Structures are given as structure tokens and as C-alpha cells.
Amino acid sequence: MKDVFHAYIIDLQNRITSALEDLDGQARFHEDQWHREEGGGGFSRVIQNGNLFEKGGVNISAVHGPLPQAMQSYFNVGKVDFYATGLSLVIHPKNPMVPTVHANFRYFEMYDENGTTVDSWFGGGLDLTPYYLFEEDARHFHSTCKMVCDRHPIADYQTFKDKCDAYFHNSHRDEARGIGGLFYDYCRADERFTMNDWLAFQQDMADHFLEAYIPIVKKRMDLNYTEAQREWQEIRRGRYVEFNLVHDKGTLFGLKTNGRIESILMSLPPKVQWVYDHHPEAGSEEEKLLQVLKHPKNWV
């Protein structure tokens, strides 16, 4: 399973980066290969200062070895070995009318002292973080997610949507990071479904990432914007940074397993503001977005 999924994400990385380069029309992804001393490594691809994308990363990795003690406590296990592979991406467009997007598709295994697999699961999801709310974009993104889920008996859209709203939540701000999408984790085989069933869903969802995001980008990328709107984008990016550094499990896992720092933190945008006690004007488009972030909606 790990070999099948790792080969799949190598192809997925190629497809996604090619599509995003075509959209940008100017910048190209720069690739770094990195190695982890304890075992494994990956390929990080980052795009910067483009015509459309201010910064973005589409990274794949496959790391293995003894599970660090800090993660043993997190998973409530003893001394075990692990293998983890996945693709993670974050794209920060320059135009504040175009939303930031995040996606992650991963697979994890644990082994006992004899090398026997004792646990394995899939996890992942995708979510959208707009700076200005276009409800038709939110409906398109969520409709694509639901369409894929509806094709797989193992995948319940509403459950995964609710988990996404709960996970990508800045509890210290009492607001969501964005307008959500799907989030699922610890997806294991049981008496009803096999790991191949989960693999089929995982690949189908990942295959439709571009279908969920690219039409939104094309619709908004040429819209005009003001400096004030750009400033709002940078303020909201600050909330994005807060989530990734305070709450995100992927960031924690990367740091605790001696991952490559540049790859782990590629999710952070290049230009961010923290304005003291900032509140948008009543009745503004900015306040409209905040209301949705404080009270998540069902989009489909």
C-alpha cells in the first residue's frame, strides 16, 4: 500500500504543479530534494513572486524510522517504527479576490519490533480560505467535495465537512480559518471496508483538487483590487499563520519528527500584518466574511 500511494503522489505533484504554472504564466516551481537523517526524505516544490501566485508550495515526502518519543506519547504507543508519506500544498495568490487553498493527502503505517504492520491509516482533506466571500465559489468548492464523497460509501460528506469546520478553527479567536471543505483522519479498514476502499476515495478526492480550485482562480484572478483590500488580505493571513503555528497537527508532526523546516513552514505567506485590535467597518464585505467565519454555513 505504501509503495502504491507514494507512486501516486509523485504523479499527483507533477499534475498539480504543471496546472498551477500554466495558470500563473510567469513563475515556475523550484524543486529541492531533501533527506532525513533518520530515514526518508522528500521533494519540495515552491513557487514565488509570480504573476498570480505570491507564494505556494506543493511538497511530497516519505519518512520512516523509529517513532520519536514525543510522538509515542501523542499516539499513546511504545517503541515502534513508522512510515509516513503524503502530499501537502498551500497556495497564496497575490490578488485578495482569489482565495488561499490548502490540501493534504497522506498515509501512515506503524510496525512492531518484528517489522510487522500493527496499524495503518489514511488521512487528509482540502479547505478554502477566502479574503472576500463569493458564495458561488464556496458552493462550487463544497459541491466538488460532496460529489466525490457521494461516489464512495465509506465517505460521508457532512461528517468530513463538520470535522473540517471543527479542525480548522482558531479557538483563541473563536473563528474559522476559512470556509472549510473536508477533513478526515485515522481512516482504517474495518468489517465493512478495506484499505483499498480508502485508497480509492483518497485518490479520487486528490484527483479532483484542481477541479475544486482552478475554476475559482480563473473567475477571480483578473478582478481589480485596492490597497485597502490588499491590507485586509494581509491581516487575514495573520490568522492563517496563527493557526498553522498554534494548532496544526501536521506542523507539529513535522517538527517532532525532525522534518525539513523550510518544507514544514512553506505554508506561511510572505507578507502578513498584525494590526492591534482591528475591526472591519460595520456592513462591509470584510465584516460579511467574519460573520461566516464565526458561524460556519452549510454550502450544499
Tell me, what CATH number does 207's domain have?
Answer: 3.40.1500.10
Q: Is residue 300 part of a domain?
A: no
Number of domains in the chain: 1
Q: Which domain holds residue 140?
A: 2-294
Query: What is the arithmetic mean of pLDDT over 274-290?
Result: 96
CA separation, residue 30 to residues 40, 56, 118, 270, 294 (Å): 20, 10, 37, 16, 37
Where is 198: in which H helix or E strand? helix 195-207
Q: State pLDDT tens for residues 154-188.
A: 999 999 999 999 999 999 999 999 999 999 999 99
Q: Is residue 147 part of a domain?
A: yes
Q: State pLDDT tens for residues 92-149.
A: 999 999 999 999 999 999 998 889 999 999 999 999 999 999 999 999 999 999 999 9
Write out the DSSP string of 121-153.
EEEEEEEEE-SS--HHHHHHHHHHHHHHHHT-T
pLDDT recorded at residue 261:
87
Give SS3 for 170: strand
Q: Is residue 299 part of a domain?
A: no
| Length of the chain measured in residues | 300
Residues with catalytic roles: 102
Query: What is the arithmetic mean of pLDDT over 243-264?
Result: 84
Least confident range of 7-16, 61-70, 86-95: 61-70
What percentage of residues in the chain have a pLDDT greater than 70? 100
Q: Is residue 277 part of a domain?
A: yes
Distance of CA 270 to the CA centre of its chain: 17
Q: Is residue 39 part of a domain?
A: yes
pTM for the model stands at 0.95
Mean pLDDT of all residues in the chain? 95
